[in-house]
Amino acid sequence: MINTEYLLNVVWPRVRKRHLYPEIPPPQYEDGEERVGLDIKAKKISLSKKFLIGIGWFVKDEDVAEGLLDHAVSHYLYCPWDLATHLGLYREAKTVLKDSEMARRATDHFMDVVADTYCVSRHDTPLPKIYRHVKGDNLDRTIYALCQKIWGVDMGIVGYEETTRKLSRLPYLERSRWKESIRRFAKVIKPLLETKNSQDDTEQMSPMGGHSLQQYTEDEIEQGLKEIAAESVSPEEFSELIKDFEGELLEILEPTEQGMGHDTGSPCIAVARLGETPG
């Protein structure tokens, strides 16, 4: 049986100390999907009990929880860091893939590689233990093989040499080159994404969880929309980008029963006025 109280009272403070005490609320446990370990909404981290039970035959519960939390915190602190970066990476991936769903998945995997590589390069983390034993399809296994290669850690993954050779050349920790890197990343994994495109939503998701816009707070979304609008070449480019996330954004930012969200500065207005000039 998982000792959830111990994991939250001992493991979480250890992870916070390692990452210099980020201002993130204590994590919680939910049933979740067996294949997916994490869910993040508005800076709140939820760990999947089913995932811990499933992988607990191979990795200690403590190591699984610690690795998942390292992964989540690294996303907050390094990549994507904010909504503007997230949408900017997605936009670059879509220029290569031309398909919104494939672009989302390419962006998710790229951000995972960057965040986890950042963590592994700076901390003693059990993340490699999770990747050694977690389930995955051909695309997932390719990403694990890439991590094995660039981290220099044996995770027992054999094969995928040609693809990982190309992917391992990318400078994942050079933030100034992320846009160039994700275009090259998307081009290399495009055949794998096309195969994965026929699977159901759960099987498409990374075992570490997807990166929906629900991970950001309303204030972060408002700021991110302003920044990505300012970076857009034209109103049409901004409109096309936001339309890919319109349903998700409106669901997050819809007015409450108390009438919040109706003021002219609301991010809901930015989403609704897709045809207007950004900024």
pLDDT in tens, 38-91: 888 888 999 988 888 888 788 998 999 999 999 999 999 999 999 999 999 999
Token couple for 191:
């055949």
Please, are residues 215 and 43 in contact by the beta-carbon 8 Å criterion? yes
Is residue 109 predicted with pLDDT exceeding 50?
yes
pLDDT in tens, 163-194: 999 999 999 999 999 999 999 999 999 999 99
pLDDT in tens, 150-164: 999 999 999 899 999
* Calpha distance 82→206 (Å, rounded): 20
- % of residues, the chain, pLDDT over 70: 85
What is the value of pTM for the model shown? 0.88
What pLDDT does 151 receive? 97
